[in-house]
Amino acid sequence: DGVTEVLAHHTENLQDKFFEIPCSEDYDSHKRFEGCTPRKCGRGVTDAVITREEAGRIRRIAERGLSLGGSDGGASILDLHSGALSMGKHFVNLYRYFGDKIQDIFTEEDFALYRDVRQRIQQKIAQVFGISCASMYLTKPTFFSRINSTEAKTTHDEYWHPHIDKVTYGSFDYTSLLYLSDYTEDFGGGRFVFMDASSNKTVEPRAGRVSFFTSGSENLHRVEKVHWGTRYAITISFTCNPEHSIEDPVLT
């Protein structure tokens, strides 16, 4: 019905904001892991976990990696874990494609910062949802995204469709997004939208802002189309199932 409420303005510096909502039944069709599988569901936003300076450093990692490729359409992906990099209308494996040259692109310090940021986001999610940090595992896909206003060329470029992470990816129990650029300054459009029955609730990206939520259909969401500029973010996702865990990326 067009009713929209802004949960987090880009001009705000939020310590912690959390909205609890009833859990969907999505988790019932998967194996439950006591002390981790969501029993308390909701969505949170914080500007107090990652600094804007750290977000700038993380963004530069994304920029360097994505400069090696990039989609022909508006949405490009870089996954440091699997090596997946958008290249034209396809993906290549960054590590196989560039081989030893990869060490001219990234440093050990880059990967150490990436790990540190991931750990702090994991700790925040565990704290807010009242679960053990050790019972959550990083899962795939966890990736950088660069979105601009270029027309979509393949279905991979169509990032704006509403979706449910638990349905799309299966392994996801908790999803987080770390924003690496600023709404209205670096890009227009591109807000994150939770699509509730009564209204849309938006999060306006701000460098260093972390948005996190349980991954079931209680958090149906989409991203608005980017109208101008470039929007950078990283999606970091967690599972309760150790069989779906992945390791932190290593510069080899």
Q: Which residues are catalytic?
A: 231
DSSP β-bridge partners for residue 71: 88
What's the burial of 196, exposed, middle or buried (CB within 10 Å: 0-12/13-18/19+)?
Answer: middle
CB atoms within 10 A of CB 121: 22
Count CB atoms within 10 A of the CB of residue 209: 29
Distance CA 1, CA 196 (A): 11
Could you tell me if 174 and 237 are in contact, meaning their C-beta atoms sit under 8 angstroms apart?
Answer: yes
What are 76's two structure tokens? 């490009």
Alpha-carbon span 54 to 127, nearest angstrom: 22
Residue pair 27/38 in contact (Cβ under 8 Å)? The answer is yes
| Bond before 162 cis per omega within 30 degrees | no
- Under 8 Å between Cβ of 198 and 5: no
| Residue 133 burial (CB count, 10 A) | 14
List the structure tokens of 43.
């969505």
